[in-house]
Chains A and B, each alone.
Chain A
């Protein structure tokens, strides 16, 4: 199975939070849920300069996702290319997926109470485009990569 991942080049990242907004705008999410997250560690002296480490977090699209089997309505689906997505037609908003996820990735959309999570903008990927966060990353720090088996 193919495995996509979003890679952050933290040397180029400036924690401008652009990705979070690009994602929300593309998914038309209301105030509340974010499907990805940029966070900085507290400043620490490195070679005389206070530095921060920046991390990007979103759905990992696990090889063997825990969220898929627990979904009572089969709304959580893994595609052949590894992308895990939520079928919004089937989702009843029970949030079992969130509880089973080690990182609490799925969140509830207050507009319709259904679960939402990063689907790597699969509609865009299918059109040969990059996910919104990657396409518009302010400093070109984010990349969509296809992981290769070792």
Chain B
């Protein structure tokens, strides 16, 4: 039987809207939702059916029978698996207290459900992957604008100039955003890109700064200096909405473009020419405050500087600038219900909220659990449930993490794929792929807020379950039916929609419900209530930071240079893979089966290597090394080597990706404790590695 459903893609975490056709329970066609994306879909999106068909994913619950990580499993029924997890969790709760269970997730729009589960269980310890992603940006925005990372969105399409610091948007694809940027360029808009290497985004740019790694903050300070010196800022906007401007002026006095040019390794005249351009294009200039800025020790301050530049442009709540995403309330509507439950009033195991008071308490900071777990401080952690989160591939130093995880009596992995964490865990609860599962409804904020959801296109191919089924079943075994009373997805949908007046039939036409016909803009002359800072103003100097003993305007410190024979390790993304969970996809692994290491031509010459030669890359303490091919190029900074994140996996059941390439995380030995004290993000690019020509380059071959 032929069927067509609207859904949301699940190959990466962008969740682009899609339309899926199937026949006899087989996917026959996937495209971007024609009403929103005109059919556009990326390579990963089209490779979705290959994920469904892939037999190298867990096909029924698996219980470990050998040592942790040994890869010996036995198959179990779902009943047995649920009982296994529920029994262990109940014992742990009885013996150590509910707070000794941590649940980490990938984050995203459905995390309210996972959070509610662990809170209902009695633990405050919900966390997600964001310490290795957007936390610095999130905290930077909170400290200045009083709203989080998603508290502003960007009207790129109508902008005249988009400025990106390392936001490689044509590799880390968000299709709708890509269309906006290309439309802007088609209309003659400008794109300025700063990065340590050239990327596809940089190749589309009208201006490119190849900066020394770790100097984004310097470049931003140099630009702020010049903008203030030439009085190119929006005086009216600043007077009305901004506090701390005088302090900023005094602070940036020392950071001239000439200074910044030297620090970043770019030309002063290019910085000045850039400032000329933004003067012309203001106020329709957008400084993107960063996406994944878990990179350098001052990334939080770099992101703050980008936010400050937006403030100076006065580009807030206007066409071609930043705008505040609107929700149901802004359209005069009632929002959907979400399974939600307050956090139990117990100290968090990661220290957020009592040891670290300046961080957003939401998901806390996952990397801060490990040391506390080893010390059993403030209490022992006895179980870790990873909901589609792979801490071992996402966070530095998996070997160190394993020491902490070994303190646990129970490690649960809920995932569509085997993950490195899953392979080490005690039980794998296989989740159905995004094409085989329904999800609760989510609200997508914007100028025209929408309701959307994922609907299954086909029935599960293997004995897998949707996440809501897994949590509802576990909840019923743990006596948490009060929070999770649902038996079917229809129950959940109906309960979610009840206050809104919409019904499921409203999703039929386009796959989503638009809550208003025309974009909602707030009155730009009356934005006071929108900045949720203590003073209600955009605060360049934040009292909250001062209280935490942190400067709001931090003196710049030059990044450390690598020792001889070593390079700074920079990682990034590519359009055909997403983090680590597509590298075993049959179609995508064909396009890119392994990663390489980018190295500057001059450095390569010193090492006697040419493109394609094998390099040995080792961690600072040489406890991990891998051999990969070199990509020799002028377009990466000589101090750095670059690799694509997600490879170097050690999961034998995933034959296509097994030990293919280099793992950046495994090179980050000892780096779990290297994090941004002000922003909370892990410093994933403050890592130095040994690089040498591999002896495995064969000049002669002896065989037979």
Which residues from chain A sit less than 8 Å from chain B, CB to CB?
Answer: 11-12, 14-18, 20-22, 24-26, 31, 43, 48-52, 135-140
Q: How far is the CA of A51 from the CA of B42 in the complex (A)?
A: 22
Find chain A residues with CB under 8 A from B207 CB. Answer: 48-49
Q: How far is the CA of A64 from the CA of B634 in the complex (A)?
A: 44
Q: Which residue of B lies closest to A141 (CB)?
A: B182
Given contacts A25-B49, A48-B270, whether A138 and B40 have CB atoms under 8 Å apart is yes
| B88 contacts chain A at the CB level, 8 A cutoff | no
Find chain B residues with CB under 8 A from A48 CB. Answer: 207-208, 270
Task: Select the stretch in B556-564, B583-591, B640-648, B661-669 that faces chain A.
Answer: B583-591
Contact B203 A50 (CB under 8 A): yes
Q: How far is the CA of A24 from the CA of B173 in the complex (A)?
A: 21
Q: How far is the CA of A15 from the CA of B200 in the complex (A)?
A: 8
0/1 per residue, B47-62, Cβ < 8 Å to A? 1011000000000000
Find chain A residues with CB under 8 A from B38 CB. Answer: 140
Min distance, Cβ B629 to any Cβ of chain A, angstroms: 16
| B249 contacts chain A at the CB level, 8 A cutoff | no
| B575 contacts chain A at the CB level, 8 A cutoff | yes
Given contacts A31-B586, A49-B203, A49-B206, whether A138 and B635 have CB atoms under 8 Å apart is no
Min distance, Cβ A94 to any Cβ of chain B, angstroms: 26
Contact A25 B31 (CB under 8 A): no
| B319 contacts chain A at the CB level, 8 A cutoff | no
Contact B175 A138 (CB under 8 A): yes
Contact B203 A52 (CB under 8 A): yes
Find chain B residues with CB under 8 A from A11 CB. Answer: 182, 185-186
Find chain B residues with CB under 8 A from A12 CB. Answer: 182, 186
Contact A135 B39 (CB under 8 A): yes
Min distance, Cβ B202 to any Cβ of chain A, angstroms: 7
Q: How far is the CA of A140 from the CA of B180 in the complex (A)?
A: 12
Min distance, Cβ B11 to any Cβ of chain A, angstroms: 11
| B331 contacts chain A at the CB level, 8 A cutoff | no
Contact A14 B200 (CB under 8 A): yes
Min distance, Cβ B395 to any Cβ of chain A, angstroms: 28
Find chain A residues with CB under 8 A from B175 CB. Answer: 138-139
Which residues from chain B sit less than 8 Å from chain A, CB to CB?
Answer: 29-32, 38-43, 45-47, 49-50, 170, 173, 175, 178-179, 182, 185-186, 198, 200, 202-208, 270, 575-576, 586-588, 590-591, 633-635
Contact B178 A14 (CB under 8 A): yes
| Most B Cβ at <10 Å: residue of A12, A138, A139 | A138
Q: How far is the CA of A43 from the CA of B38 in the complex (A)?
A: 31
Q: How far is the CA of A14 from the CA of B178 in the complex (A)?
A: 9
Min distance, Cβ A133 to any Cβ of chain B, angstroms: 10
Find chain B residues with CB under 8 A from A16 CB. Answer: 42-43, 170, 173, 200, 575-576
Find chain A residues with CB under 8 A from B204 CB. Answer: 14
Min distance, Cβ B519 to any Cβ of chain A, angstroms: 22
Find chain B residues with CB under 8 A from A51 CB. Answer: 203
Min distance, Cβ B284 to any Cβ of chain A, angstroms: 21
| Most B Cβ at <10 Å: residue of A51, A136, A140 | A136
Q: How far is the CA of A15 from the CA of B202 in the complex (A)?
A: 13
Q: Which residue of A lies closest to B39 (CB)?
A: A135
Contact A140 B587 (CB under 8 A): no
Q: How far is the CA of A18 from the CA of B40 in the complex (A)?
A: 9
Given contacts A18-B43, A18-B45, 14 further A-B contacts (CB under 8 A): A16-B576, A18-B42, A20-B591, A21-B46, A22-B46, A25-B30, A25-B50, A31-B586, A49-B207, A136-B31, A136-B46, A137-B40, A138-B175, A138-B178
Find chain B residues with CB under 8 A from A31 CB. Answer: 586, 590
Find B31's partner among A14, A15, A50, A135 (CB 8 Å cutoff): A135
Q: Which residue of A lies closest to B169 (CB)?
A: A14
Given contacts A11-B186, A43-B635, whether A50 and B202 have CB atoms under 8 Å apart is yes
Min distance, Cβ B635 to any Cβ of chain A, angstroms: 5
Considering the complex of A and B, which 4 residue pairs feature the smallest CB-CB distances, nearest first? A16-B575, A21-B43, A14-B170, A49-B208
Q: How far is the CA of A15 from the CA of B206 in the complex (A)?
A: 18
Q: How far is the CA of A139 from the CA of B39 in the complex (A)?
A: 10
Find chain B residues with CB under 8 A from A137 CB. Answer: 40
Contact A17 B203 (CB under 8 A): no
Q: How far is the CA of A139 from the CA of B32 in the complex (A)?
A: 11
Contact B635 A25 (CB under 8 A): no
Contact A139 B203 (CB under 8 A): no
Find chain A residues with CB under 8 A from B591 CB. Answer: 17, 20-21
Q: How far is the CA of A12 from the CA of B178 in the complex (A)?
A: 9
Contact A49 B202 (CB under 8 A): yes
Q: Which residue of A lies closest to B590 (CB)?
A: A31
Find A43's partner among B31, B47, B198 (CB 8 Å cutoff): B198
| Most A Cβ at <10 Å: residue of B45, B178, B203, B207 | B203
Q: Which residue of B lies closest to A29 (CB)?
A: B587
Min distance, Cβ B161 to any Cβ of chain A, angstroms: 15
8 residue pairs of the A-B complex, CB under 8 angstroms, read A16-B173, A18-B575, A22-B41, A25-B47, A50-B202, A50-B208, A136-B41, A138-B173
Find chain A residues with CB under 8 A from B186 CB. Answer: 11-12
Min distance, Cβ A42 to any Cβ of chain B, angstroms: 8
Q: How far is the CA of A136 from the CA of B618 in the complex (A)?
A: 41
Find A18's partner among B46, B203, B590 (CB 8 Å cutoff): B46
Q: How far is the CA of A11 from the CA of B173 in the complex (A)?
A: 17
Find chain A residues with CB under 8 A from B185 CB. Answer: 11
Min distance, Cβ B300 to any Cβ of chain A, angstroms: 29
Find B587's partner among A25, A43, A136 (CB 8 Å cutoff): A25
Q: Which residue of A lies closest to B191 (CB)?
A: A49
Find chain B residues with CB under 8 A from A52 CB. Answer: 200, 203
Q: Which residue of B lies closest to A136 (CB)?
A: B41
Q: How far is the CA of A31 from the CA of B185 in the complex (A)?
A: 36
Find chain B residues with CB under 8 A from A136 CB. Answer: 31-32, 39-41, 45-46
Q: How far is the CA of A12 from the CA of B42 in the complex (A)?
A: 14
Contact A43 B203 (CB under 8 A): yes
Q: Which residue of B lies closest to A138 (CB)?
A: B42
